[in-house]
């Protein structure tokens, strides 16, 4: 099990990034969450098997078809045992 936090920069809000991230995370069996941030970025946490988490990080590098990703910051974090994946509507 691993956990990674990503912050995705570019045109990533208003392009169904969160909804597509939710769908793909569920397909990959990854726990965590995704949310829009006030600065225009999208932040997500992916937790699960290494291969599945890396697949989500790789997807975040391009996002859904309408997105234009300029940069993905990736941070390793301690595993917390998160179950399920959700869209968060709090913004920071």
Catalytic sites, residue numbers: 18, 36
Q: Report how far Cα 23 is from the mean position of its chain's Cα atoms.
A: 11
């Amino acid at each position: 099990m691993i956990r990674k936090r990503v912050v995705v920069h570019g045109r990533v809000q208003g392009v169904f990034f969160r909804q597509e991230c939710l769908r793909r995370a569920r397909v990959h069996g990854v726990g965590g969450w995704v949310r829009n941030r006030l600065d225009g970025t999208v932040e997500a946490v992916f937790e699960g098997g290494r291969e599945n988490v890396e697949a989500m990080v790789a997807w975040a590098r391009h996002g859904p078809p309408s997105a234009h990703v300029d940069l993905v910051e990736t941070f390793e974090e301690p595993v917390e045992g998160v179950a399920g994946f959700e869209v968060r509507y709090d913004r920071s």
